[in-house]
């Protein structure tokens, strides 16, 4: 319900799930640091403010937003988000973790496949005033963050 996906949308997250790297997706397979039968976690292509290298958790199947997300996927997403948050504390030595999840264009949802953002937070990083300060990262930058999280990800 309340869907906004354009006709013939090439979903960048579905492409990544399928292992495809091409011009329709910014995601590289090296960005992915966790995957199971329902969801995967990866470093977001876009970096925000002074908080580069934040993660997203996504269902493998295509659901556009929270309104459509089935219970099985939802449960796994919050479980993995918790594990990502704890891994981020260890790997990034961050002072806090912020979860954000946007539904529909009015809420700045750009990729029309459900994704939960997990940001490392640092004292006085000013992120709340920099959420529009977004840049496309280089895959080399993301790979380092992904490798560190992959190594410290705890079995659930």
Point out which residues bind its own copies (CB under 8 A): 1-2, 66-67, 69, 71, 74-75, 77-79, 81-82, 85-86, 89, 94-109, 116, 119, 121-125, 128-129, 131-132
For 51, other C-beta atoms within 10 Å of its C-beta total 20
- Strand 134-136 with 46-48, pairing: antiparallel
Q: Which is nearer to its own copies, 23 or 124 (CB)?
A: 124
Name the DSSP letter for residue 61.
S
CB of 67 to its own copies, least distance (A): 6
CA distance 72 to 91: 28
> Partners of 59 in the beta sheet?
39
With vertex at residue 101, the alpha carbon angle to CA 31 and CA 99, rounded to the nearest 5 degrees, is 75
Coil/strand/helix, residue 124: coil
Shortest Å, Cβ 96 to its own copies? 3
Least separation in angstroms between CB 18 and its own copies: 26
11: Cβ–Cβ under 8 A, 6 or more apart, which residues?
5, 62, 111, 112, 113
User: How near is the Cβ of 47 to its own copies at its closest, in Å?
Assistant: 16
Measured from the CB atom, the residue of 26 and 97 that comes closer to its own copies is 97
């Amino acid at each position: 319900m309340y869907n906004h996906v354009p006709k013939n949308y090439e979903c960048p997250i579905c492409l990544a799930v399928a292992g495809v790297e091409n011009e329709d997706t910014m995601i590289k397979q090296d960005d992915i640091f966790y995957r199971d039968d329902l969801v995967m976690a990866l470093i977001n292509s876009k970096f925000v403010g002074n908080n580069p290298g934040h993660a997203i958790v996504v269902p493998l199947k295509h659901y556009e937003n929270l309104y459509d997300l089935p219970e099985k996927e939802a449960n796994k997403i919050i479980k993995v988000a918790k594990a990502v948050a704890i891994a981020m504390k260890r790997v990034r030595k961050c002072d806090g973790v912020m979860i954000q999840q946007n539904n529909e264009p009015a809420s700045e949802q750009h990729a029309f496949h459900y994704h939960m953002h997990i940001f490392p937070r640092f004292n006085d990083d000013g992120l709340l005033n920099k959420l529009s300060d977004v840049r496309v990262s280089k895959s080399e930058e993301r790979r380092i963050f992904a490798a560190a999280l992959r190594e410290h990800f705890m079995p659930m």
